[in-house]
Structure formats: C-alpha cells, structure tokens
Amino acid sequence: MFLGEYQTKFSGKGRIILPRKFRQELKSKEVILSRGFEGCIWGFDILDFEVEAKKQLEISATEERARYLRRYLFSGSESVELDSQGRIIIPSALLDFASVKEDVAIIGAGDHFEVWNNKIWKKHLANIERDYGRISQARSS
C-alpha cells in the first residue's frame, strides 16, 4: 500500500524522485500516471492500474457515466519508466493539469499515490480536516 506524505521538488524539468517507500511498493519500473480528481495526478503500479482499468471496462459503455469516466481516465493516462535513481518524468500535460510547478507533495492513497501542487494539497487537506471534524462532532453528539 502507498502510505504517507512527502514533500519534494523537481530534480529537472518535470522529473521527481519517488519516495523510497513508494518505490518499494512498485512491482515493476513501469508507472501509469493519470489525471486524478480534485486537481492531482494519480500514480499506479502498472498491475494495479490494470485492475482499476478492468473495473472501468466492466461497466457497459452504453451507460453515459461509464463513457465519461473511461474518457477521463484513459485519455489522461501515460506510462512512464522509473529510472535507476528512482525518478520519473511527469508529462507536461499532467503538470499543467495539476498546476504542479515547483513544490510537490506526494501522498499515499492506498492502491495508488498522488502528486499535488503543495499549496493546493495543504488547502485540500485543511478542507478534509475541517469536514472530518464536522463528521466526528456529529457522531459524538
């Protein structure tokens, strides 16, 4: 599982080093990067991406929602290779999509990792904590 939160910077144009713990979770050197939700980039081990892709393909293409999700997921996905120093190059279209320019947050999300613009991640995390606080308060009432 991909767990934890890491702060990093680019080591070249679009190139970042994946955290050591994340590299250990990868079953191969091939990583699939894709547009995620809330403005982040998703990163999957190739085998885990195939599992997720299979789930999407099991939903009939006659369903509008299924077509939209397939288009979103597959058109925004690219295969990248992990180099010998544990780095990947994020395609410019994905960098633009996620507004990732300098300071980067790489977070674990269980079956995948996410790459965020650090400022956007901090705002998103604050929203999660605020909303979770509301949920916790409602449960304890």
Residue numbers of the domain that contains 13: 5-140
Overall average pLDDT of the 103-129 stretch: 95
- Tokens encoding 36: 């995620």
Tens of pLDDT, residue by residue over 3-43, are 999 999 988 789 999 999 999 999 999 999 999 999 999 99
Q: What is the pLDDT of residue 99?
A: 94
Query: Which range among 11-15, 77-81, 101-105, 125-129 shows the weakest confidence by mean pLDDT?
Result: 11-15
Contact 55, 61 (CB under 8 A): no
Write the DSSP symbol of residue 61.
T
Would you say the C-alpha torsion 114, 118, 122, 127 has a positive or negative sign? negative
Residues in the chain: 141
136 pLDDT above the threshold of 80? no
Q: What total of structural domains would you count in the chain?
A: 1
| pLDDT, average across residues 56-66 | 85
Q: Which residue has the tokens 């690219």?
A: 78
Give pLDDT, residue 134. 65
Average pLDDT on 38-52 reads 93
Token couple for 39: 């403005």
- Which pLDDT score is estimated for 12? 78
Dist CA 26 CA 40 (whole Å): 20
| 141 — pLDDT class (breaks 50, 70, 90) | low
Burial class (CB in 10 A: 0-12, 13-18, 19+), 115: buried
CATH code at position 125: 3.40.1550.20
Q: Provide the Cα torsion 110, 111, 112, 114; round to 10°.
A: -30
pLDDT at residue 55, rounded to an integer: 86
Compute and round to an integer the Cα radius of gyration of the chain: 16
